[in-house]
Amino acid sequence: MTKEITVIDSIMGSGKTQWAIQYMNEAPELEKFIYVTPFLDEVTRIKNSVTNRTFTEPNNANDEGRKLRSLKELIVQGEDITSTHSLFKTADDELIELLNDSGYTLILDEVMDCVATVNAGASDIRKLERASDIEITENKVVWTGDPQDNSRYMDIRMVAQAGNLFYYRGKFLVWAFPPAVFHAVDDVKVMTYLFDGQTQRYYFDLYGFEYDYRAITKIGDRYEITEYDPERERRGELYSLINVYEGKMNDIGSRKNALSVSYLQRISKAGNVDFLKKMQNNLKNYFQNVVKAKRDEVYYSTLKEIETAIQPKGYKEPKRPSVKTDRTPKVVIPHNARATNAYAEKWALAYMFNRYMKQDIKVFFQDNGISVNDDLLAVSDLLQWIYRSRIRNGEPIELYLPSRRMRDLLEAWAKYEI
């Protein structure tokens, strides 16, 4: 049976999460929810903001010491549940069986990574086969080794045991979220922006899901679901708050693929210290001299492997506090950061990156007849990243975006050309 999913595709700041809180507060008592969000602080927000029902967060205080077991127990008890995306990666047949006819509405705050590569090379795969730890049947990887294996292959073991691991093109392992989870619940709502460029959209296409687009509008003190119409997004207003740097320091990103993952990895592996030093100097010059910002007023992103190499003096990540609850990066944040307001006071930004879909994931979709829009994915991630700043409060920001491709995409978005 074809499952239709409601995609609430609404621009940042339109009130998607506020609508969800309002919706759950006003829902009939018998309706049950599973609310899934990327970050723990958003889990806490839901628990505190939905006052007409009690949301419970899965924990590892059980015989297995696993949050997945806790999630299953909460479903059996019919509790309202909120958790992070990461918990669902090991969703298995038992979870799907429990969800069937359970009456849950699943709300995804931001898209999930429904398809991902697993960190294992060809030699690792051969080693696991020789040791009889895995069997590969019609590209599906079955774990046949120690069911409690806690070696460096534990992540492979857990995903394979959940039935979600596939051998692809003879060299890499691909994890795919079990589509049966979406069929098992009564209703699915996905809240995001520019859904057409997201990996989850391609995943839905791959498995034959249908989706209906909606948006959110605030009318008085209430948030209402409305017809999807990108022309109402007032993109120009948001773009007018972004002062994009134009100048000599953009030279490092003039080539189309400059600052992409493959480009920066080649730079790093080749030991090209001159280029990395140039990136570092540009960052410092931009923050210190061009916009005159202090460390606490900035954030920037690049490829994780070179973060340390390009951190300029005076703008390095402060030492993390010992308190476990505060591990949020203060200066160097993920290039795909979204769904957090932890940086809402920052106003000087630098995106030292050129976003493309991972090649193996792109090939996986293309080989299955799904076309991929790299540009829409790139501008979607960039916009979400920008919106972590004080622009979310209607205040102007400064942006160093050296990749010419990324600058062009941002401008094209503002003009409704993409």
Task: Give residue 328's pLDDT.
Answer: 65
**57/89 Cα distance (integer angstroms):** 16
Q: What is the mean pLDDT of the chain?
A: 90
Q: For the residues 284-308, what does the mean pLDDT come to?
A: 96
Nearest C-alpha neighbor of 107 from the set 168, 48, 23 = 23
Task: Give the DSSP H/E element, type plus range, for residue 48.
Answer: helix 40-49
Express the helix, strand and coil content of the chain in percent, nearest 5 each: 40, 20, 40
Instruction: Give the model's pLDDT for residue 42.
Output: 85
Residues paired with residue 225 on neighbouring β-strands, in sequence order: 216
pLDDT at 167: 85
Give the contacts of 321 (CB within 8 A, at least 6 positions apart): none
For residue range 310-320, list pLDDT tens digits in order.
Answer: 999 999 888 76
Categorize the per-residue pLDDT at 325 as very low, low, confident or very high, splitting at 50, 70 and 90.
Answer: very low
Q: What is the percent of the chain with per-residue pLDDT over 70, rounded to a whole number?
A: 97
What number is the average pLDDT over the span 166-174? 79
Q: 298-301 and 242-244: which strand pairing?
A: unpaired
Model confidence pLDDT, tens digit, residues 228-266: 999 999 999 999 999 999 999 999 999 999 999 999 999
Residue found under tokens 């292959």? 153
Q: What is the mean pLDDT of residues 74-100?
A: 88
Query: Among 158, 130, 169, 183, which Cα is nearest to 69's?
Result: 158
Each residue's pLDDT tens digit, 343-384: 999 999 999 999 999 888 888 888 888 999 999 999 999 999
> What is the Cβ-side half-sphere exposure of residue 285, based on CA atoms within 13 angstroms?
11
Closest CA to 330 of 388, 380, 378: 388
- Global confidence as pTM: 0.86
d(CA 261, CA 267): 10
Query: Which of the residue ranges 160-164, 191-195, 303-307, 331-335 would you say has the lowest mean pLDDT?
Result: 160-164
Q: Give SS3 for 401.
A: coil
Q: Which of 150-154, 228-232, 305-309 has the lowest mean pLDDT?
A: 150-154
Match 């595709």 to its residue by tokens. Answer: 9
What Cα–Cα distance (Å) separates residue 311 from each residue in 253, 287, 288, 320, 408? 18, 12, 13, 16, 26
SS3 call for 41? helix
Q: Is the pLDDT of residue 326 over 60?
A: no
* Domains detected in the chain: 4-111+181-232 (3.40.50.300), 115-176 (no CATH), 235-414 (3.40.50)
C-alpha distances in Å from residue 293, one per residue of 249, 346, 381, 402 = 17, 10, 24, 18
